[in-house]
Structure 1
Amino acid sequence: MRMFESNVGNVTWMHRPEPDYSRLVWEEANRFRVHTSAYTDPTVFAAEMKHIFQKTWVYVGHESQIPESGNFITSYIGNQPVIVVRDEERQIHVLVNRCVHRGAVVCREGGGRASEFNCPYHGWVYGLDGKLLAVSERKDAGGYDDAFDAPEGLFKVPRVERYRGLIFASFNPAVQPLVPYLGRAKQFIDRKLNFSPEGEIVLSSKPFVVRYPGNWKFQAENIVDGYHFMHTHKGFVQLQMKYGDSTGDFGVHKGGTPKAMRALRFRGAAWRCENGHGLIEKPLGEVDSLFEGEFGDYQRALHDTYGEEEFSFMAGKLSGSIFPNLGLIHNQIRVWRPIAHNMTEVAVYPYELKGAPDAFNEGMLRSQERFYGPAGHGAADDVDIFIRNQQGLEASAVDWLILERGLSTDAPDAGSRDLRGGSTSEAPQRAIWSEWKRLMSAGADQKPSSCPSSTGAHDATQEGHH
């Protein structure tokens, strides 16, 4: 393989051209498969951090976590630690959490309030906008003279945009604007958040955080996998049949028998969207029953505001994987952080619907505990599957994973480049991998992705606010 040279300072580095990672996705007219090494190879993981997490939009937090000047949270863009902070002028900055002196992480707290950031190693001080304010003992005892070329401050991530309180950042100055990037996922987010009478959500509960020894893409795929529920969560299905909502489900997982639950889960549509977003939509077939009981007035008001068709989507079951690291399902924001090719951290943030009845928000929180919390049923089942997946992929004698469910019946959507499939189609997973393939291709640019293609090499063994 030909190498080439480049000079940085006085050091000459030898670079090897990267493999063409697009070969790890085998995509043809009636074929969509992913190579085992896309989940198991540390070299692939390192390339993802460069070609995906440094080039596209990444979710880093929510405005309700930093409501006032001086509020901050720590987050990640891929494996790079960042601070998300609101300065004295209430502007939001995303700063790389690394002192420019000797590289120490400046802030370890998950969140809080500060007037400045002080590096614990040598005491360098930074403002809320990242600007270097002071170098400790600057001229004392063999310090820095007047010729010292002081840096400006913490590295500021060049692009930060928000949509309805969701904060995204990108290291790529040329990344396309956030709203076009979201595409159909913008409508999905609107439908989730419009269930609040004020159109806003609040992250007021502490997150449930779990790590699993498996690849980050398992979580990205699974949150929009309509095919697994009746099998992976078989124990929960039996529990639901016996106890119904009496243990705190609050109507989230409907269906009194496995047959009824299966029928409900096989309704609706799955979407393969541009830019890697995958969605599942299950609108309600009948809404009148929602206008009775304790929350009838609240839900009727939403119905009257948005109309029956839109309300049926809002009140139905919506789940989305916003490429590459954000999920929304039920009343929850889910964020996955890649740590290594075989280690992932997932944080589940239950949210409240601002202006909704307190009892409604309380009931939804209880349902989160029942299914997703540390004593819940669903999260444990899913994490076990992710671990099984990673273990199974050690059987490297088998090259390819199959993502072809619904491939022949997914249909184009009029007026967009998105594809619509049945509720258990693997269309959302193909969305993720289509964008993965585009960004991981050697020399990939940042133009918006084109219509999901039926071409691709398969020889992987050769090388803002609304």
Structure 2
Amino acid sequence: MNQIMGEPQGVDFPISAEEIRGLVQPNHVHRRAYSDPAIFALEQERIFGRLWIYVAHESQLKNPGDFIRTRLSKFEVLVTRHHDGNIYVLHNRCPHRGARLCMVDQGSNRAFSCPYHAWVFRPDGSLASVPHPKSYPADFDIADRRNHMQRIANVQSYRGFVFANLSDNPPPLIEHLGPMTDVIDNLIDRAPDGEVEMSESSFALEYRGNWKLHMENAADIFHPTFVHSSSVMPARRAPANASILDQDQTREMLMANGFGFKEWEGIQLKGLDSGHTYMTAFYDSGVLSRQSEDPVSIEYRRRLAEKIGEERAAQVIGMNRFNNIIYPNLIINAQYQQMRIAIPLSVDRTLVRIQCFRLKGAPDGIFHRAVRFISNLGSPASMIFSDDVEMLERCQSGLKTDTGPWIDFSRGLDSDDKGADGSVSGAASEMPMRVQFNAWVRHMTTEAA
């Protein structure tokens, strides 16, 4: 399982801050931002190497020895739970001869043993033993940190969401998240028992395109009408309530992508100076709506109100935001218990992990809907996601050529409102993409302290 390994990227020439700024205009972006390996290498250093990047959820690391294999900037890392209860992020590399230690995406081990020369490491990265110790010099010390797996110094968690940062002196995680803590809070507050758990139900898909294309697509409310017409039309022709299997959930989800003027003008977009963005939701009918009166929804609201009160429960369920993007690469949908992570592998290769949560204390039917949601929207076989991937790969293919260097992000430019905490659009605007690129320029032009 080598999905998270990327190809080595080298910067062939120095890229000045002036050159980076020249790639982004108020309403246009140069294709090099998506297709230049040197730009990608600089992103790995200045964005994924300096910002807080999500690496795991604590529920995946319940017991000592549990681990997750993922990627942090250009490095493959292991996120582990040690016997002291702490979570560590370790470079997946033996300090002896440099071999990769772990080849699976997750599991549980009392120790990691290098397959090359059998150095054995504890879950905190410390060296536990070496075979035939007498063959090493007298001054060889197992406790010497040079013989330990290299540890990422900056690891912080917000309500179970674990982030890591490669920079020397990063700001607190809470500062990076800013107002986006609201969506994490809301996801957890939706659990009657006040706790969520990552489900084993998940998907991973790699597409041949730049990572930014996926994040832009997640903030784009204009494309569903056209890209997803092949699934909207059959859903419209299907009779209502024909499927007792999912209480019409699949049909309603597919139909929801049939946007017109009303939807384009009715969905509000919000973009923060940090690059975080979100939109108001558009699944407003059927079993996925907050007003649903089916037995599962009624029982769920009853359980939540029993724990936190009617008024508070109404506030929690009433938060109606979709595709909450925590810059640079995390997307959370609290009301559907969904999360996506875009992991850049190379300038034109991106791995997307799609996962869902179980709300502890909620009826099983709520979790079943979350699983069906992830299957309908995020499965590699999904009519929705496969359409999106086709478009992302077509964009990357076109951006590789130099026939016209600029792409247009001008829609909504004259109608956006600029507030103290970011931009707001009530129309079919490309404001979120402009906000993301403003943050991109700022990070890409900031030299190391």
Give the TM-score normalised by structure 2.
0.86
What secondary structure, in the 3-state scheme, does the structure 2 residue paired with 1:290 have? coil
Task: Report matched runs for 1:38-437 at 5 Å.
Answer: 38-140=33-135, 143-146=136-139, 151-243=146-238, 246=242, 248=246, 250=249, 253=252, 263-264=262-263, 266-282=265-281, 289-291=291-293, 293-299=295-301, 301-302=304-305, 304-306=310-312, 308=314, 311-313=317-319, 316-329=320-333, 330-413=336-419, 416-422=420-426, 424-437=428-441
What secondary structure, in the 3-state scheme, does the structure 2 residue paired with 1:211 have? strand
Contact 1:207 1:350 in 2 (8 A): yes
Write out per-residue CA displacement over residues 110-136 of structure 1, whole angstroms, 9 at most, x where no aligned residue.
Answer: 111111111111111211111122233
* Distance in 1 (alpha carbons) for counterparts of 2:190 and 2:260: 24
* Distance in 2 (alpha carbons) for counterparts of 1:156 and 1:222: 34
> CA, structure 1 residues 145+350, in 2 after alignment: closer, same or farther (shift >3 Å)?
same
> CA, structure 1 residues 283+62, in 2 after alignment: closer, same or farther (shift >3 Å)?
same
Contact 1:410 1:421 in 2 (8 A): yes
CA apart distance, 1:164: 2.1
* Distance in 2 (alpha carbons) for counterparts of 1:43 and 1:73: 29
Contact 1:24 1:37 in 2 (8 A): no
> CA, structure 1 residues 199+228, in 2 after alignment: closer, same or farther (shift >3 Å)?
farther
* Distance in 2 (alpha carbons) for counterparts of 1:206 and 1:251: 18
* Distance in 2 (alpha carbons) for counterparts of 1:363 and 1:347: 19
The structure that is helix-richer by fraction is 2
* Distance in 1 (alpha carbons) for counterparts of 2:421 and 2:15: 30
Write out per-residue CA displacement over residues 407-449 of structure 1, whole angstroms, 9 at most, x where no aligned residue.
Answer: 2222234xx422111253222222221111111115266xxxx
Structure 2 runs not aligned, ≥5 long: 1-11
Q: Tell me what 2:6 maps to.
A: none
> CA, structure 1 residues 263+193, in 2 after alignment: closer, same or farther (shift >3 Å)?
farther
Structure 1 runs not aligned, ≥5 long: 1-14, 446-466
What secondary structure, in the 3-state scheme, does the structure 2 residue paired with 1:412 have? strand
What amino acid is the match of 1:340?
S
Higher RCO (C-alpha under 8 Å, 6+ residues apart): 1
> CA, structure 1 residues 352+147, in 2 after alignment: closer, same or farther (shift >3 Å)?
closer
> CA, structure 1 residues 147+395, in 2 after alignment: closer, same or farther (shift >3 Å)?
closer
* Distance in 1 (alpha carbons) for counterparts of 2:299 and 2:365: 13
CA apart distance, 1:309: 5.4
Contact 2:24 2:437 in 1 (8 A): no
* Distance in 2 (alpha carbons) for counterparts of 1:255 and 1:111: 33
> CA, structure 1 residues 285+81, in 2 after alignment: closer, same or farther (shift >3 Å)?
closer
* Distance in 2 (alpha carbons) for counterparts of 1:385 and 1:83: 32
Give the TM-score normalised by structure 1.
0.83
> CA, structure 1 residues 419+258, in 2 after alignment: closer, same or farther (shift >3 Å)?
closer
* Percent identity of paired positions between Structure 1 and Structure 2: 29
> CA, structure 1 residues 242+444, in 2 after alignment: closer, same or farther (shift >3 Å)?
farther
Count, aligned residues? 422
The answer to which of 46-55 and 243-252 deviates more is 243-252
* Distance in 2 (alpha carbons) for counterparts of 1:254 and 1:265: 17
What secondary structure, in the 3-state scheme, does the structure 2 residue paired with 1:128 have? coil
> CA, structure 1 residues 308+76, in 2 after alignment: closer, same or farther (shift >3 Å)?
same
* Distance in 1 (alpha carbons) for counterparts of 2:395 and 2:283: 33
Write out per-residue CA displacement over residues 249-297 of structure 1, whole angstroms, 9 at most, x where no aligned residue.
Answer: 6279458688777634642311111322121123898988435533214
> CA, structure 1 residues 297+251, in 2 after alignment: closer, same or farther (shift >3 Å)?
farther
Write out per-residue CA displacement over residues 352-382 of structure 1, whole angstroms, 9 at most, x where no aligned residue.
Answer: 2222110121123123222322332111001
> CA, structure 1 residues 124+322, in 2 after alignment: closer, same or farther (shift >3 Å)?
same
